[in-house]
Each structure stands twice: as structure tokens, then as C-alpha cells.
Amino acid sequence: MNFHDILTRQQEFFTSQKTKNLKFRKIYLEKFKEVIIKNEDILYEAIYRDFGKSKFDTYTTEISFVLKDIDYYLKNLHSLAKPKRVRTNLANQLGSSKIHPEPLGCTLVIGAWNYPYQLSLSPVIAAIAAGNTCILKPSEVAENTMKAMAKIINENFPKEYLFVAEGGVEEITEILKLKFDKIFFTGSPKVGQIVYEAAAKHLTPVTLELGGKSPAVVTSSANFEVAAKRIVWGKFLNAGQTCVAPDYILVDEKVKDSFLDTLKSYIEKFNYQPDAAHYTRIINDRNFDRLLKLIDQEKVFYGGKSDASSKYIEPTLLHKVTWADAVMQEEIFGPILPVLTFKNFNEALLQIAKGEKPLSAYLFTNDSEEKEHFISKISFGGGCINDVVMHLSNDNLPFGGVGTSGIGNYHGKFGFDAFSHQKAILSRVTWGEPDLKYPPYSDKKLHWIKKLL
Ligand code: NAD
């Protein structure tokens, strides 16, 4: 069956109204949970084969997210889907006004490879919770995880409701020619642009979850132990192949030397040596070669070693880095951490503001004025003060970028809204209406209209 036929079947299924029923949605959310739990081992094995990701990391950064999302929607579905009453203005009295969230229809989710389960399945769960049908196209770059998701979903769900399309650029190009009611894409800004253009041909709304260079700023008032520990964890988790990982550090020049030593001590303590089973490998040779080119051996403060056969790159700290260096010209997306310095905090913020708007930004400080300046002076998707990465684990916060790091957001209520249309309904009574707005007009009517409006 080709993609066009699957979409046609999904359109017919959506038109049947079945997916709008809350009981139906709950049954399939429960089923989703059951399928994930039943096939957990298949999921662990596939991701390990793709890039050596440990069971611990797969559970904490992927499976647990997906299960948490399902539980969130099961618990909150009724309140998310119910019409919300809003105030009715004087001109529309006597009447009542409500916002009815309604599913958009047939949706397409395109996933990235670096957290293949979380980034593919979480939007799918939001899509079906909001009452849509869905086609998922996971990234072919993590081939085993793509196959695992296709197997467990296509064997357990009706195609006319939920379907996983396997394939690479050729297949996704075909899929993108079809008219969807919503496209949710996670990946690079470059491909995001291709997806946006394809969506524009059908005026299809999009959510684009993209990337960029996310800074971590460390000021002289920071708790260095906490800052180093958290930055090292967040940077080298998944071997730096995390969209919200701190891409580079901007540290106050006065404390640079001691901070570099503290970073190094945590890298050693967390043990990312080649025999460490908890340390993830680089996804493929192309990225491995790309990353090695970004390591200027003359600027290595720590690390720099690699092994091509196992696609291992040692956590690498670079110092004496300038804004003109190659490593500062693209999103690193690997275990290389350049450390730059600043003399003046506000100038550091201005330097960040000169570049593209980051997906995330982090500040380590104990100074409340610095916190305020950081939040108000630079634009970025979201971030943390005195931590990294963790903002995305709070479902009460929207997760998404701004500018080249993305359009729209999701997680929790925001995920439900990303796959819903907010239908506005004004409901009027059929009695008690003055004739003011109807012709023929008169000065007296205008007088009263002016008072009313
Ligand atoms: P990518 O853009 O190469 O691929 C993403 C998806 O696009 C894949 O499913 C792929 O099959 C598809 N694709 C590739 N070429 C295409 C084309 N020509 N036309 C249509 N679709 C195409 O990104 P990636 O390498 O999987 O992920 C890395 C990037 O994604 C980084 O920039 C990272 O920051 C970003 N990212 C963002 C988030 C987020 O939540 N904002 C999460 C993870 C990754």
C-alpha cells in the first residue's frame, strides 16, 4: 500500500468521527502504553545497535518520557478537550461564548534520530490525544529504532488510525507532497525549511522543532561545583547529540582557569572512557568525521582522543577558542565543549544576541540582576538558571524554539494545543435584541451604538 492510499484511508477514518470520541482516544492511549511496556526490550536493543545508548539512558531520556506523556493525557484528557467558556462582550448579549478544541485531522510527524523514541512518539501521543490520525516518519539515520517503531506500532494499531512509514529522503519527499492537516517536524533548521516549503504548498500548519548553538553562561558568582557537574552531565549525555545540550560555555575570564579544572574533574569522575558502557557512541561515520574536524588539537584542554572503529569520541574541552573558530560556526551536536571567556556580562549577552536565536540557553549565577538581564536581553526557546536540559522535563512548560531554532512548541497542554484547532463559537438567544445594528440607520441609533461599542 502506498502513502497516498494510507492517507486516504486515514482521511476516511477521521471523517467517520471515531477519533473525536474521548473513550476511543483513551482506549488507544492505554494500548500505546501497553505496547511500549510489552516491547521495551526490543526498543532497548534497537537503540543500542544504532548508537550504543545504554538501557539506563534509554529509559530515563526516552521511554520514561513517552510513558509520562501517555499518563499525562490519560489524566487530563477530559479537561483539555472540554469547551472553555469565555466572557461575552456587550455587543453580543444575550449570548455565551466558548472555545471548542477540535482535532486538526490527519497529521504527519517527522522525527529526528538522536532521541528517536521520545522525539517521534511524544508528538504522536499528543496527536492522538487531541483526536487526530497520524502517520509517523522516524529518522532513517537510526535505522534499527525506525524499524522497531514500525514493527510495534504497525502490528498493533489500525493503519487508518496510526501508521509508521519507513524510509529515507526519497520516501519523505513523496509523503510531503500529500496534503496533511498538520505537520510536526523535529530536525535541523536546513531540513525544517524544506518541510516548511512543502507544507506551504497546501497551507498546512507546522510545528518545527529545530536546533542551533545553545550557550551556557557562567558568571563569577556561580557555584562552580554545581555548574560544572550539571554542564558536564548535560553536555556528554548521549555523547553531546542532544538538541538542548550546552553547545559552548561563556565563562567570566577571571574564573576561567579554575572552572576548566572543575569541568575536567567531573569528566573524569563520570568516566567516559572507551570501556564505559554508559557512554553513547556517535551515530555514523559522517558525523564522526565532521566532529573530528571541529577539534583543533592546539586548543584541546582535555580529551581529543577518538576511535573510528567504535565511533568513540572522548569528551573534549577546548580552550582559547574565539568566535571565528570553525567549532563556533555550526551546531556541534557531539561531545566537544568549547570554552570562551568574557570580561563583561552584558557584553557576553550582546554577543549571544548577535547570533541566531538559540533553542536553549543556560545561566549559572547567584546574582539576581544577572538572572533578570539574561531573561530579558536575549531571545531563545527556553532554558534554565543554574541547570541545563532539565526545563524540557517539566510538562507545565512549553518546549520549542524561536527564530531559526523553531516554530511552535509542545509538551503537556502545549502538545495537545499544537494538534488542535481552537474553534470559537458564539451562541445567541433568539429574543431580547434591540434593532440597533439593522438598517435603516439613524443618528439616534448611531448615538446608542457609540455608547455600546
Ligand atoms: P535532520 O534534519 O537531518 O533529519 C530530521 C528528519 O528529516 C529525519 O526524519 C529525516 O529523514 C528527514 N529528512 C532528511 N532530509 C530530508 C529532506 N531532504 N526532506 C525531507 N525530510 C528530510 O536532523 P537530524 O540529523 O535527525 O537531527 C539533528 C538536528 O535536529 C539538530 O539540528 C538538532 O538540534 C535538531 N533537533 C532538534 C530537536 C528539538 O526538539 N528542537 C530535537 C532533536 C534534534
How many other CB atoms are found less than 10 A from the CB of residue 408?
18
User: Is residue 73 in contact with ligand 1, taking CB distance under 6 Å?
Assistant: no
Concatenated DSSP letters of 95-126: EEEEEEEEE-SEEEEE--SSSHHHHHHHHHHH
Report whether residue 245 contacts ligand 1, using a CB cutoff of 6 Å: no
Q: Up-side HSE of residue 129: CA atoms within 13 Å toward CB?
A: 34
Q: What does R_g of the chain's alpha carbons equal in angstroms?
A: 25
| CA 397 to the chain's CA centroid | 12
One DSSP character per residue, 385-416 reads ES-SSGGGG-TTS-B---GGGEE--BSHHHHH
188 CB under 6 A from ligand 1? yes
Q: Given strand 382-385, what is the order of strands in its sheet?
A: 300-302, 316-318, 336-342, 248-252, 215-218, 360-364, 382-385
Distance CA 236, CA 244 (A): 12
The 3-state DSSP class for residue 68 equals helix
The pLDDT profile of the chain, 453 residues, written as one tens digit per residue, is: 699 999 999 999 999 999 999 999 999 999 999 999 999 999 999 999 999 999 999 999 999 999 999 999 999 999 999 999 999 998 898 999 999 999 999 999 999 999 999 999 999 999 999 999 999 999 999 999 999 999 999 999 999 999 999 999 999 999 999 999 999 999 999 999 999 999 999 999 999 999 999 999 999 999 999 999 999 999 999 999 999 999 999 999 999 999 999 999 999 999 999 999 999 999 999 999 999 999 999 999 999 999 999 999 999 999 999 999 999 999 999 999 999 999 999 999 999 999 999 999 999 999 999 999 999 999 999 999 999 999 999 999 999 999 999 999 999 999 999 999 999 999 999 998 888 999 999 999 999 989 888
196 forms beta bridges with none
**Full set of structural domains in the chain with CATH:** 3-210+403-425 (3.40.605.10), 215-400 (3.40.309.10)
Residue 320 CA to ligand 1 center (angstroms) comes to 31
At 309-365, the pLDDT tens digits run 999 999 999 999 999 999 999 999 999 999 999 999 999 999 999 999 999 999 999
Task: Tell me how many degrees the CA angle 386-187-3 measures, rounded to the nearest 5.
Answer: 145
CA dihedral 407, 353, 375, 371 (to 10 degrees): 150
Residue 174 CA to residue 80 CA, distance in Å, equals 34
Side-chain half-sphere of 369: how many Cα atoms within 13 Å? 3
Ligand 1 binding pocket mutation candidate from 120, 136, 139 (most atoms within 8 A of CB): 139
Tens digit of each residue's pLDDT (9 = 90 or more) over 42-52:
999 999 999 99
For the residues of 229-290, what is the DSSP string, one character each? HHHHHHHHGGGG--TTS--EEEEEGGGHHHHHHHHHHHHHHH---TT-TTSPPPS-HHHHHH
Indicate whether residue 284 lines ligand 1 (CB < 6 A).
no
- Which entry of 62, 106, 143, 243 is annotated as an active-site residue? 243
Query: Looking at residue 1, what is its pLDDT?
Result: 65
Instruction: Answer whether 114 contacts ligand 1 (Cβ < 6 A).
Output: yes
The minimum-distance atom of ligand 1 relative to the CA of 209 is 41
* Mean pLDDT across the chain: 97
In the prediction, which pLDDT does 90 show? 87
Locate 317 and state its grid cell: 574541552
**Which residue in 143, 160, 209, 331 is the catalytic one?**
209
Q: In what order do the strands lie in the sheet with 420-428?
A: 84-86, 95-103, 420-428
Rounded to whole angstroms, how far apart are CA atoms 300 and 231?
18
Q: Which ligand 1 atom sits nearest the alpha carbon of residue 191?
A: 2
Residue with the nearest Cα to atom 9 of ligand 1?
139
d(CA 277, CA 424): 53
Query: Please, which residues have CB within 8 angstroms of residue 43's CB and are 6 or more apart in sequence?
Result: 36, 58, 62, 63, 117, 145, 148, 152
Question: Looking up cell 539574561, which residue turns up?
Answer: 374
Please identify, by atom number, the ligand 1 atom nearest to the C-alpha of residue 189.
32
Closest CA to 393 of 59, 64, 54, 37: 64
Q: What are phi and psi of 217, to 5 degrees?
A: -100, 130
Which helix (H) or strand (E) covers residue 383, if one does?
A: strand 382-385
Ligand 1 proximity of 123 Cβ (cutoff 6 Å): no
Ramachandran angles phi, psi of 349, nearest 5°: -65, -40
Give me the half-sphere count of Cα atoms (radius 13 Å) on the Cβ side of residue 31. Answer: 16
Is ligand 1 within 6 A of the CB of residue 209?
Answer: yes
Pocket lining: 341 vs ligand 1, CB cutoff 6 Å = no
> Is 155 one of the catalytic residues?
no
CB atoms within 10 A of CB 121: 28
Å from CA of 218 to ligand 1 middle:
30
Rounded Cα–Cα distance for residues 159 and 175 (Å): 15
Question: Which residue, by CA, sits nearest to atom 14 of ligand 1?
Answer: 169
| Residue 116 φ then ψ, to 5° | -60, -35
Cα 117 to middle of ligand 1, angstroms = 14
Query: What tens digit of pLDDT does each residue of 155-209 get?
Result: 999 999 999 999 999 999 999 999 999 999 999 999 999 999 999 999 999 999 9
- Distance from the alpha carbon of residue 331 to the mean position of ligand 1, in angstroms: 13
Q: How many CA atoms lie within 13 A of 293 on its CB side?
A: 9
CA of 191 to the centre of ligand 1 (A): 6
The residue whose CB lies within 8 Å of the most ligand 1 atoms, and thus the one to mutate among 166, 172, 331, is 172
C-alpha cell at 442: 439613524
- Taking residue 214's Cβ as centre, other Cβ atoms within 10 Å add up to 28
Calculate how far, in angstroms, residue 185's C-alpha sits from the geometric centre of ligand 1: 8
Asked if residue 333 has its Cβ within 6 Å of ligand 1, the reply is: yes
Question: What's the confidence (pLDDT) of residue 349?
Answer: 97
Q: How many angstroms is it from 188 CA to the middle of ligand 1?
A: 4
Cα separation, 409 vs 208, in Å, equals 8
User: Is any ligand 1 atom within 6 A of the Cβ of residue 392?
Assistant: no
Backbone CA torsion sign across 57, 63, 66, 67: negative
The reported pLDDT for the residue numbered 287 is 98
The CB of 110 under 6 Å from ligand 1? The reply is yes
- Is residue 134 part of the annotated active site? The answer reads no
User: Residue 191: CB within 6 Å of ligand 1?
Assistant: yes
